[in-house]
Structure 1
Amino acid sequence: MGNEHPIWTALVRIALVLTIIPLAAGYLGWLHPLGDSLAVGRGYAAGALALLALVAGLSGLQMAAFGSTLLALVTGAQVALAFLWPGPPGVFLLYQKNVWQANAELTALADDIGATRPLAVTLQEVTEPNLALLQALKADYPGQLYCPEGGSGGNAVLTRLPVVPGSETCAPGLAALRIEFAEREVWIVSIHLSWPWPSDQAGHVAQLLPVLAGLDGPVLMAGDFNMVGWANAVRRLAAAAGVVQAGPTGGTYLGFGRLMHLPIDHAFAPDGGRITLRPAFGSDHLGLLAELEP
Structure 2
Amino acid sequence: MARSRNMMISATFLAMLALSAALVAGFFGTLHPAFDSFAHFRVHLAVLMALCALPLLATSFRLQAATALVFAVAAYATTSFPLPRLWPVQAAYEAKPSDQAVYPGDQAVYRLLQMNLRFDNPTPKKVLSLIGRTNPDVITLEEVSEMWTTELGYITSAYPYRILCPYPNGVFGVALLSRRPFAAGTKPFCERRGAMAIATVDFGGIGFDVAAIHLSWPWPREQPWQIGELAEPLASLGETAIMAGDCNAAPWSAAVR
Please, what TM-score do these two structures have when normalized by structure 1?
0.73
Deviation at 1:17, TM superposition (A): 0.7
Q: Do residues 52 (structure 1) and 71 (structure 2) align?
A: no
Q: Distance in 2 between matches of 1:92 and 1:208?
A: 27
> Of the candidates 98, 105, 110, which is equivalent to residue 123 of structure 2?
105
> Of the candidates 180, 183, 195, which is equivalent to residue 205 of structure 2?
183
Q: Do residues 157 (structure 1) and 176 (structure 2) align?
A: yes
Deviation at 1:83, TM superposition (A): 4.8
> Of the candidates 241, 245, 253, which is equivalent to residue 219 of structure 1?
241
Q: Classify the secondary structure of the residue corresponding to 2:146.
A: coil
Q: In 2 relative to 1, CA 188–33 (structure 1 residues): closer, same or farther, beyond 3 Å?
A: same
Q: Distance in 1 between matches of 2:152 and 2:209?
A: 19
Letter in 2 for 1:120: V
Total equivalences in the alignment? 234
Q: Do residues 169 (structure 1) and 169 (structure 2) align?
A: no
CA contact (8 A) 2:183 2:200 kept: yes
More helix per residue: 2
Q: Aligned residue for 1:253?
A: none
CA contact (8 A) 2:36 2:253 kept: yes
Q: Aligned residue for 2:64?
A: 64
Superposed CA offset, 1:164-218 (max 9, x none): 2432111030001111114321011110111111112111001111111112342
CA contact (8 A) 1:185 1:217 kept: no
Q: Distance in 1 between matches of 2:32 and 2:143?
A: 28
Q: Distance in 2 between matches of 1:78 and 1:141?
A: 39
> Of the candidates 193, 198, 203, which is equivalent to residue 220 of structure 2?
198
Deviation at 1:13, TM superposition (A): 2.3
Q: Distance in 2 between matches of 1:107 and 1:87?
A: 26
CA contact (8 A) 1:170 1:176 kept: yes
Show structure 2 runs of 5+ residues with no match: 92-108
Q: CA RMSD in A?
A: 2.3
Show structure 1 runs of 5+ residues with no match: 236-294
Letter in 2 for 1:63: L
Hey, which bits of structure 1, 4+ residues long, moved more than 3 A?
A: 2-9, 80-92
Letter in 2 for 1:150: P
Deviation at 1:86, TM superposition (A): 6.7
Q: Classify the secondary structure of the residue corresponding to 1:130.
A: helix
Q: Distance in 2 between matches of 1:6 and 1:150?
A: 55
Q: In 2 relative to 1, CA 86–187 (structure 1 residues): closer, same or farther, beyond 3 Å?
A: closer
Q: Aligned residue for 2:104?
A: none
Q: Aligned residue for 1:92?
A: 110
Q: Classify the secondary structure of the residue corresponding to 1:144.
A: strand
CA contact (8 A) 2:13 2:52 kept: no
Give the fraction of aligned pairs with identical amino acids, expressed as a percent. 30
Please, what TM-score do these two structures have when normalized by structure 2?
0.83
Q: In 2 relative to 1, CA 59–233 (structure 1 residues): closer, same or farther, beyond 3 Å?
A: same
Q: Aligned residue for 1:118?
A: 136
Deviation at 1:19, TM superposition (A): 0.7
Q: Determine which structure has more spread, i.e. the larger CA radius of gyration.
A: 2
Q: In 2 relative to 1, CA 149–88 (structure 1 residues): closer, same or farther, beyond 3 Å?
A: closer
Letter in 1 for 2:66: F
Q: In 2 relative to 1, CA 73–182 (structure 1 residues): closer, same or farther, beyond 3 Å?
A: farther
Letter in 1 for 2:172: G
